[in-house]
Amino acid sequence: MARTILIDPVTRIEGHAKITIQLNEAGAVEGARFHVVEYRGFEAFCEGRPFTEMAAITARICGICPVSHLLAAAKTGDRILAVTIPPVAEKLRRLLNLAQITQSHALSFFHLSSPDFLLGWDSDPAKRNIFGLIAADPELARGGIRLRQFGQDLIERLGGRKIHAAWAVPGGVRTPLDPTDRDAIRAQLPQAFATTLAALQRFKGLLDGPLATEASTFGCFPSLFMGLVGADGRWEHYDGQLRLIDPDGTVLAEALPQQRISEALAEAVEPWTYLKFPYFKPLGPEAGSYRVGPLARLNVCERIGTERADAELLELRERGGRVVTSSFHYHLARLIEILAALEAIELLLNDPEICATHVRAHAGVNAFEAVGVSEAPRGTLFHHYRVDANGLIEAVNLIIATGQNNRAMNRTVTQIARQWITPGATEISEGLLNRVEAGIRCFDPCLSCSTHAAGQMPLHVQLIGPNGEMLQERWRQ
Amino acid sequence: MSVRTLSINGHAVAMATGTTLLAAAREVGVPIPTLCHLEGLSPVAACRLCLVEIEGSGKLQPACLTPVAEGMVVHTDTPRLQDYRRTVIEMLFTEGNHVCAICVANGHCELQDRAVEVGMDHSRLPYRHPDRPVDLSHPLFGLDHNRCILCTRCVRVCDEVEGAHVWDVGWRGEHCRIIAGLNEPWGAVDACTDCGKCVQVCPTGALFDKADTTGEKHADPARLGALVRARARGQQTR
């Protein structure tokens, strides 16, 4: 008898979602869907506001990565002012984004995902969390928490507060970096490096052993990848060119037109989810769907440009090929990006100009439409504004990283369900529930951003029969 | 100079005739919250925050407009007044769209300060979420009607101190709002001298410098009193 499994809500992700798995008459998996069930409507209520407020408004979309929206909004504002921001302002914004990448990736790996790897897929869900990890491996847990603290401390020292620091503004940043703060951050770097390198060694050991099956079945499929690349194809997170590659590594589009991004990208909608499905227009909604985020950034770049991160990138490519297609490797990519971020932070803090005080350019409205692009921890983020002659917002479109991974998340859930649900099985095991959720966690989705949705995120799996009847469901709060 | 003796919160006070209760209370260190009042501008008793109780009178009186009188027994901080003041602040918040988190005046806003002082941790009244415009037509400054509390400081400073009379209050009741010129975009009003006094005296983020983003407005309305006093002494012309 056919049926549907419902996982609602999905836990240890940011936002509120559910998963349905459809089984056919034989009890085999027919398909699976990742539904995002909440909606916020930021794009609508920003209309009529001054564009100078957009950084502060859109940063409130999310408490995890407000910096990403702050930077995308500030960059869009730069374009509306039509100014080149002072060089040190760009360096300081980069520093802010690197701090954001570090703290967000640390949260995803240590707090949200590592309990699965380290405590076991079938372990007691009540203990399979950061507190269980603290009990089982206090040193690793402490290191992870400190690493996140390092990123947040840097954000606070730059912007005055850890969350929603409205510090990046159109034209630059508000305040320069104080030499005392620079030195305090520099002093924390050795511990951050040590934690990251230890986690990398530990995780690579697991990939070669107990996690080998997951690495080959969690969202392992060919797809396009998109991300920013810098000069000479170097890893980039703040500016640069938008590159799209196919699963063979062939560059399909170099330097996508950022200011006319709607010519290159379109957003499909489905009636069963609030999360849109952006795609590369020339290839259509299916073939043109692509992945973004840490793995995509490492796939599209030629090299990272710093010694230790480049060595890890080479090892990743030895493990998964020039273009790594297994979504499980998002976790490894995240750790490598933390390492890259720490190295880049070290370089920026050693820059003799980093404490320069001319940090902001001033101008009026000189362009009526602009797009700002930056790399959020979860992938490429687009802010697109149209303003009137006085700078009041007439239209807003936000293309969020998690949306761009939407089709990949759905394929990942389907792939995991097919791998782990035995045809004819009547029970939903805890291990299945958790693996399906973990498939989503590979992408570290932020649903509050991507649907512009409020709420927290528990898990609900439904098993639905061929006639649409619900056969079994499990809830976890 | 004739003197009147009275009691404020149990303190015996002697003040010159014509002194307002607000000035008298501040003279002896008794705080009374205000929003529309500003030294250097004529009092209008618009905000009703400075209401006080006077024994023998059933009505609450605005301290900013009520002169001292012989034998008055005044109370400035009774439970009844505390409830009135909190309600006034709640009404100001719910009547407009005050989103502190993104406001230019966040952290330097008199409405925000008064809300903290009266203990407004939430509103007991429903928010009205009115649909109000933002005027960015002036080359330097902006007016966000969502944040305006109709204190009319801008109207008075432009008329009484700058002498340009750009601002007025238009419409009636819940539709009341500040208008520039003959209800024109601010940037189209030739009378405006771009002096920025209205921005400086605005207690909220309703009037702001267009270059400012969240929390960057640092107005200092108290400077107006110094300007007016200096003018009275012929020390300064603008």
Q: Contact at 8 Å (CB) between A220 and A202?
A: no
Interface test with B, best of A390, A392, A393, A394 (most B CBs within 10 A): A390
pLDDT tens readout for residues B103-115: 999 999 999 999 9
Given a cut of 80, whether residue A30 has pLDDT beyond it is yes
Cβ contacts of B21 within 8 Å, gap of 6 or more? B8, B32, B52, B61, B63, B64, B66, B67, B68, B72, B74
DSSP-assigned beta bridge partners for residue A422: none
Check CB contact of A442 with chain B, cutoff 8 Å. no
Tell me if A128 sits within 8 A of A114, measured CB to CB: no
- Residue A402's pLDDT is 85
Say what the pTM is: 0.88
| pLDDT for A451 | 46
Chain A partners within 8 Å of B215 (Cβ): 166
Residue A475 confidence class, pLDDT cut points 50, 70, 90: low
A50 touches chain B (CB under 8 A): yes
Q: Which two tokens stand for residue A194?
A: 């040590």
- Residue A48, chain B, CB below 8 Å: the answer is yes
Q: Tell me, what amino acid is at A44? A: A
Query: What is the least distance, in Å, from the CA of A192 to any CA of chain B?
Result: 32
Q: Is the pLDDT of residue A456 over 60?
A: no
Preferred mutation among B102, B132, B137, B145 to probe A, highest tally of A CBs within 10 A:
B102
Q: What is the mean pLDDT of residues A65-76?
A: 93
With CB atoms and an 8 Å threshold, state whether A50 touches B133. Answer: no
Task: Find how far residue B46's CA is from the centre of its chain.
Answer: 8
- The predicted-structure confidence for A90-104, as pLDDT tens digits, reads as follows 999 999 999 999 999
Token readout for A354 is 């980093």
By the 8 A CB rule, do B108 and B27 touch?
Answer: no
Q: Exposed, middle or buried by CB within 10 Å (0-12, 13-18, 19+), for B204?
A: buried
Query: Across chain B, where does the E strand assignment appear?
Result: 3-8, 11-16, 51-54, 61-62, 73-75, 134-135, 141-144, 167-170, 177-180, 207-209
Give B224→chain A minimum CA distance, Å.
28
For residue B120, give how far its alpha carbon lies from the nearest alpha carbon of chain A (Å): 23
Inter-chain touch B213–A362, beta carbons under 8 Å:
no
Query: B3-77 in CATH: which number?
Result: 3.10.20.740
A60 vs B: CB within 8 A: yes
Interface list for chain B against chain A, based on CB atoms closer than 8 Å: 101-102, 133-134, 136-137, 139, 142, 144, 187, 210-216
Spell out the residues 6+ positions from residue B165 whose beta carbon is closer than 8 angstroms to its own: B158, B159, B191
Residue B206 to chain A, least CA–CA distance (Å)? 13
Per-position DSSP letters for A164-214, written without gaps between them: S-TTEETTEESSPPPHHHHHHHHHHHHHHHHHHHHHHHHHHHHHTTTTHHH
- Cβ contact, residue pair B136, A392, below 8 Å: yes
Q: What mean pLDDT do residues A258-277 have?
A: 88
Angle of helix A307-320 relative to helix A330-349, nearest 10 degrees? 170
Q: Residue A23: what pLDDT?
A: 83
Q: Which of A5-9, A229-233, A379-383, B102-106 has the lowest mean pLDDT?
A: A5-9
Residues of A in contact with B212 (CB under 8 A): 52
Cα distance from B88 to chain A (closest Cα, Å)? 27
Given A55, A164, A364, which is nearest B213 (Cβ)? A55
- Work out the mean pLDDT of chain A and round it to a whole number: 88
Query: Who among A53, A166, A362 is closest to B211 (CB)?
Result: A362
Contact map slice: A 336-395 vs B, CB within 8 A: 362, 364, 390-392
Q: Look at phi and psi of residue B223 and say left if phi exceeds 0, alpha if psi is from -120 to 50, else beta.
A: alpha
pLDDT band at A288 (very low <50, low <70, confident <90, very high): very high
Answer for the pair A80, A385: CB distance below 8 angstroms, yes or no: yes
H/E run at residue A145: helix A138-159
**Cross-strand partners of A172:** A169, A360
Domain ranges of chain A: 3-39+425-476, 40-424
What pLDDT band is residue A477 in, cutting at 50, 70 and 90?
A: very low
The secondary element (H helix, E strand) that includes residue A9 is none
Closest C-alpha among B169, B153, B151 to residue B47: B151
CATH number of B83-221: 3.30.70.20
Provide the residue type at B103 as one letter: C
- Residue A16's identity, in one-letter code, is H
- The closest CB to that of A56, out of B101, B139, B210, belongs to B101
Query: Residue A170 and residue B213: Cβ atoms within 8 Å?
Result: yes
Q: Do A392 and B139 touch (CB under 8 A)?
A: no
Q: Count the neighbouring beta carbons within 10 Å of the beta carbon of residue A73.
A: 31
Confidence of residue A403 (pLDDT cuts 50, 70, 90): confident
Measure in Å the smallest separation between the Cα of A121 and chain B Cα atoms.
41
pLDDT at A22: 85
CA end-to-end span of chain A: 28
| 8 Å CB contact between A58 and A73 | yes
Whether A166 sits inside 8 A of B212 (CB atoms) is no
Q: How far away is chain B from the Cα of A63, in angstroms, using its nearest Cα?
A: 13
CA distance A356 to A57: 28
Residue A460: pLDDT band (50, 70, 90) is low
The helix/strand/coil state of B236 is: coil
**Peptide bond connecting A9 to the previous residue in cis, omega within 30 degrees of 0:** yes
Alpha helices for chain B (secondary structure H) = 21-27, 79-95, 110-117, 153-156, 197-201, 223-232
Nearest-angstrom CA–CA distance, A280 and A254: 13
> Tokens 């409020």 identify what position?
A454
- Other residues' Cβ atoms within 10 Å of the Cβ of residue A423: 11
- Please answer whether residues A388 and A415 qualify as being in contact, where contact means their C-beta atoms are separated by less than 8 angstroms: no
Closest chain B residue to A168 measured between Cα atoms?
A: B213
- For B141, which residue in chain A has the nearest alpha carbon? A390
Mean pLDDT of A74-97: 97
CB A224 within 8 A of CB A244: yes
Q: Is A164 on the interface with B (CB under 8 A)?
A: yes
Q: Is A137 left (phi over 0), alpha (psi -120 to 50) or beta?
A: beta
pLDDT above 70: percentage of residues in chain A: 91
DSSP string, A233-302: GBB-SSSSEEEEE-TTS-EEEES--GGGHHHHEEEE--TT-SS-EEEEGGG-TTTT-EE-SHHHHHHH-S
- Where in chain B do CATH 3.10.20.740 domains reside? 3-77
Check residue A171 and give left, alpha or beta (phi > 0: left; psi -120 to 50: alpha). left
Q: Which pair of tokens denotes residue A18?
A: 């559910």
Closest residue of chain A to B140, computed from CA coordinates: A364
Instruction: Choose between A337 and A469: higher pLDDT.
Output: A337
B-chain residues within 8 Å CB-CB of A50? 134, 136, 142, 144, 210
What is the reported pLDDT for A457? 43
Q: Chain B: nearest CA to A88, how far in angstroms?
A: 20
- Picking from B144, B210, B213, the nearest residue to A166 by CB comes out as B213
- Assess A204–B contact: CB distance below 8 Å, yes or no: no
Instruction: Specify whether domain A40-424 bears CATH 1.10.645.10.
Output: yes
Per-residue pLDDT of chain B (238 residues; tens, 9 = 90+): 699 999 999 999 999 999 999 999 999 999 999 999 999 999 999 999 999 999 999 899 999 999 999 999 999 999 999 999 999 999 999 999 999 999 999 999 999 999 999 999 999 999 999 999 999 999 999 999 999 999 999 999 999 999 999 999 999 998 999 999 999 999 999 999 999 999 999 999 999 999 999 999 998 888 888 888 888 887 765 5
Residues 6 or more apart whose CB falls under 8 angstroms from that of B178 comprise B143, B145, B148, B150, B152, B154, B155, B167, B168, B169, B170, B206
